[in-house]
Chains A and B, each alone.
Chain A
Amino acid sequence: MIKIEKRNDVPMALYFFTPFIAIILTILGGGIIFYILGFNPIEALKFYFITPISNLYGFSELLLKATPLCLIAIGLSFCFKSNNWNIGAEGQLTFGAIVGGGVALLFYNQEGFYILPLVILAGAIGGMFFALIPAILKTYFNTNEILVSLMLVYVSKLLLDYLVVGPWSNPEGFNFPETRQFSDSSRMPLLFEGLRIHAGIFLALAAVMLSWFILYKTYLGFQIKVSGLSLKTAKYAGFKGKTMILVVFMISGACAGLAGVGEITGPIGQLHRMISPDYGFTAIIVAFLGRLNPFGIIFASLVVALTYLGAETAQIFLQIPKYTGQVFQGMILFFLLASDYLLFFKVKILNLKKNELRH
């Protein structure tokens, strides 16, 4: 007989263990999907999760993809911890890339050590500004931040499209929808010759450290956590709710903007339509899988980055459509949420025979 009991408190070990259950279940689920599609599941999973990182180049690609995911998810963790549902990070990433890219284009024929910092700063400010829109509308007009931040994703992508087709398009570019190449001074320095991994990874690591410090060592972090647990308590404690909402959105937007600028100054080197394969949305999954914990997010960003890489590899070797990546990402979140059940409820398997003997 199975008995389900509500737990009084959540065991911390289990809290950080269930993401692993979710990952294992996702791999099993993926195997089943591959089997249904007519592939050998073991072979497909090998191409998906092992082949991509079996050499140095692959490992560098993994870090390259994990960098923006980690950055955005760190930012989102501030919002989610305080119960602010910013799901428009993709838009903040795009707008950050537009502003940062605009600055880089101003200096397209110049060199100088000051250019890259300016571009990065512009990207962060751009993302921050774009995140402020839903935040201000939420605090002063009571508007739902989920819908506003999401609508702005479409707006920012259309703006980018307009810019790369119209005013910012490369005059020597034969009408391709792209801008000029940025000058070398606007590009992130590469860490190793021949690999694409660039200095942007240090931005992500700095964000991890800084967010850990803010969340666990400052008054602001305390406010954020309390507001997330109970809005009533936060109000009773006299926290300035509105300021906090603005601050968490700004942090989140700045991180997404940095991720955007890291992509265009890193592997891409110019602006065009496809600057992000939905990193902004996928980072939501990363934030949850990492349990909104800075170090958990590092781990989660690597796992989710692998689903991007695996999807590409599987497409090349097995002609499996690359969208399986999104299917895997959706499944991870489904299984993670489902396994949370174990956190709040205790499943007891009672042995009836023993009970009977006692009586």
Chain B
Amino acid sequence: MSLDISFIGILIGSIMASSVPLILAASGELITERSGVLNLGVEGMMIIGAISGFALMVITDNLFIAIVGSMLSGVIISLIFGFLTQSLLTNHVATGLALTIFGIGLSAMLGKNFVGIPGKEFPILFSSLKESIPFFGPILFGHSIVLYFAFALPFLTNYFLKKTKLGLVVRAVGDSPVSASNQGINVILVRYCCILYGGAMCGLAGAYLSLIYTPQWIENMTAGRGWIALALVVFATWSPIKVLIGALIFGGITILQLHMQAIGFRIPVQFLSALPYLMTIIVLVVISRDSRKIKLNTPTSLGRIFYKEK
């Protein structure tokens, strides 16, 4: 029996690990969307973060530089999106799509010389406690610092949005940009900041994949996680805590699918791999059926272009 319990502990630990990129990317996108900007470039920003993190790790041999660099590259690439949508007033959906296509191409181009290079082991915290405590050990300890940060992030985001003045500004800009502007808030500046913050978090999410989760560079390694993160924000009806819950559910499906494959479950591998995507659709349907609830929580100006006559 004790073996079963420790196995479940390890299972939960691995579910947590697989949900980290989703939590990071979705929390970042949540802030962006709360300010009224719909950035569909999450996948592109994540993959750029993944390659720049990995490349910097190989070049500098310094994991700290790699992590910070991946966030910076996320910021830089999201700046393109910010400039186009905020300064040149382009359509959010089309610009986000362009960002994703561009990001995937650019990452494969930059990553050409990094394919097949083995990654470096990322330091984990409290590794001794992981072994010594049977059930809670693998759940609570022996993770990378990025995982601890990711699990704190939804709570920090929630606090930021609900309890701080700056959070109120972000929400005001997202819900009513015109009144916010009349109050003297620089709507465009706030939106720029939220876009860049989203870029940083997506960059970090990508670096988590290429440096910690599966430490190597594989083309297109984000494999649609960016899009699932976007769906998660809708799933969570723009509430940070629900992002955490949703990400754990999706992480759970991913891990479950891997274990079912490992124990030789009689369903074809491809059907199990399709589960997270099918699940996203089902969840979206269930959530969206109540259109009143969706409307109540959606940032009112989401995806709309704001233009102030000078």
Closest Cβ neighbor of A340 among chain B residues: B90
A155 touches which of B91, B234, B278 (Cβ 8 Å):
B278
Given A147-B230, A337-B90, A152-B105 contact (CB < 8 Å): no
Q: Given contacts A148-B281, A330-B101, A337-B94, are A159 and B108 in contact (CB under 8 A)?
A: no
Measured between alpha carbons, how far is A87 from B3 in the docked complex, in Å? 47
Q: A162 contacts which of B99, B106, B270 (Cβ < 8 Å)?
A: B270
Q: How far is the CA of A155 from the CA of B278 in the complex (A)?
A: 7
In the complex, per-residue mask of A203-234: 1 if CB is within 8 Å of any chain B CB, else 0: 00000000000000000000000000000000
Q: Are A326 and B102 in contact (CB under 8 A)?
A: yes
Find out whether the CB atom of B93 lies under 8 angstroms from the CB atom of A146. Answer: yes
**Closest A-chain residue to B80, C-beta based?**
A334
Q: Is B277 an interface residue (CB 8 A)?
A: yes
Q: Smallest Cβ distance from A239 to chain B, in angstroms?
A: 20
Q: Which of A158, A288, A324 contacts B270 (CB 8 A)?
A: A158
Contacts of B93 in A (CB 8 A): 85, 146
Asked whether any CB of chain B lies closer than 8 Å to the CB of A67, the reply is no
- Most interface-central of A4, A150, A162 (chain B CB within 10 A): A150
A137 contacts across to B, CB distance below 8 A = 281, 284-285
Judge whether A321 and B103 touch: CB under 8 Å: no
Residue of B84, B95, B99, B280 touching A147 (CB-CB under 8 A): B280
Q: Judge whether B288 is part of the interface by a CB distance below 8 angstroms.
A: yes
* Given A151-B227, A158-B273: A330 touches B105 (CB 8 Å cut-off): yes
Counting CB contacts under 8 A, is B184 at the interface?
no
A162 to B273, CA, bound (A): 11
Which size bracket describes the interface of A in this complex?
Answer: 35 or more
Whether a CB of chain B sits under 8 angstroms from the CB of A323 is: yes
B104 at the interface (CB under 8 A from A): yes
* Chain A residues positioned under 8 Å from B123 (CB to CB): none
Q: A337-B95, A337-B98 are in contact. Are A147 and B231 (CB under 8 A)?
A: yes
Q: Is B278 a contact of A151 with CB atoms below 8 Å? A: yes
Please report whether the interface of chain B is mostly helix, strand, loop or mixed according to DSSP: helix
In the complex, whether B109 has a CB less than 8 A from a CB of chain A is: yes
A141 at the interface (CB under 8 A from B): yes
Confirm or deny: A117 has a beta carbon within 8 angstroms of a beta carbon on chain B: no
Q: How far is the CB of A3 from chain B (nearest CB, A)?
A: 10
Q: What is the bound-complex CA distance between A235 and B17, given in angstroms?
A: 48
A261 interface contact, C-beta 8 A: no
Distance in angstroms between the alpha carbons of A282 and B309 in the assembled complex? 35
Question: How long is the Cα–Cα vector from A323 to B106 in the complex, in angstroms?
Answer: 7
Give the complex CA separation of A338 and B109 in angstroms. Answer: 24
On chain A, the residues within 8 Å of B91 by CB distance are 337
SS class of chain A's interface: helix, strand, loop or mixed? helix
Q: Mark A273-285, 1 if CB is under 8 A from B, else 0.
A: 0000000011011
B285 x A141 contact (CB < 8 A)? yes
Question: For the complex, is A325 an interface residue (Cβ under 8 Å from B)?
Answer: yes
Q: Which residues of A contact B90 (CB under 8 A)?
A: 337-338, 340-341
- Place the interface of chain B in its size category: 35 or more
Q: How far does the alpha carbon of A142 sit from the alpha carbon of B298 in the complex, in Å? A: 13
Count of A-B residue pairs with CB < 8 Å: 132
In the complex the two chains form, is B109's CB within 8 Å of A330's CB? no
Name the residue of chain B whose CB is nearest to the CB of A33. B109
- Asked if A331 contacts B280 (CB within 8 A), the reply is no
Contact partner, A334, options B95, B269, B273, B280, Cβ 8 Å: B95
Chain B hits for A143, CB < 8 A: 281, 284-285, 288
> What CA separation (Å) do A282 and B69 show in the bound complex?
30
Say yes or no: B288 contacts A337, CB within 8 Å.
Answer: no
Q: Is B168 among interface residues, defined by CB-CB distance under 8 A?
A: no
Q: Which of A4, A152, A330 contacts B103 (CB 8 A)?
A: A330
- The B240-260 residues at the A interface (CB cut-off 8 A) are none
Closest to A288 in B: B94
Contact residue among B88, B97, B109, B309 (Cβ-Cβ distance under 8 Å from A341): B88
Taken together as a complex, chains A and B put the C-alpha atoms of A337 and B102 apart, in Å, by 14
Q: Known A285-B98, A326-B105; judge A142-B291 contact (CB<8 A).
A: yes
* B116 lies within 8 A of chain A by Cβ: no
In contact, B284 and A344 (Cβ under 8 angstroms) = no
For the complex formed, measure the closest distance between the CB of A359 and the CB atoms of chain B, giving whole angstroms: 23
Is B169 interfacial (CB-CB < 8 Å)? Answer: no
Give a binary string over A129-169; 1 marks a CB under 8 Å from any B CB, 0 the rest. 00000000100011110111011101100110110011000
Report how far A6 CA is from B89 CA in the complex, Å: 12
Q: CA–CA, A6 to B310, complex, Å? A: 10
- Across-interface contacts of A144 in B (CB, < 8 A): 231, 234, 284, 288
Residue A21 interfacial (CB < 8 Å): no
Q: Does A190 contact B (CB under 8 A)?
A: no
- Excluding A137-B285, A284-B94, A340-B90, 9 further A-B contacts by CB distance (< 8 Å) are A137-B284, A144-B288, A151-B231, A158-B273, A162-B269, A166-B268, A326-B102, A327-B105, A331-B102
Please, could you name 16 A-B residue pairs with CB atoms under 8 Å apart, sorted by A? Answer: A141-B289, A144-B234, A144-B288, A148-B281, A158-B270, A158-B274, A284-B94, A321-B109, A323-B109, A327-B106, A328-B105, A333-B95, A334-B80, A334-B95, A337-B88, A344-B89
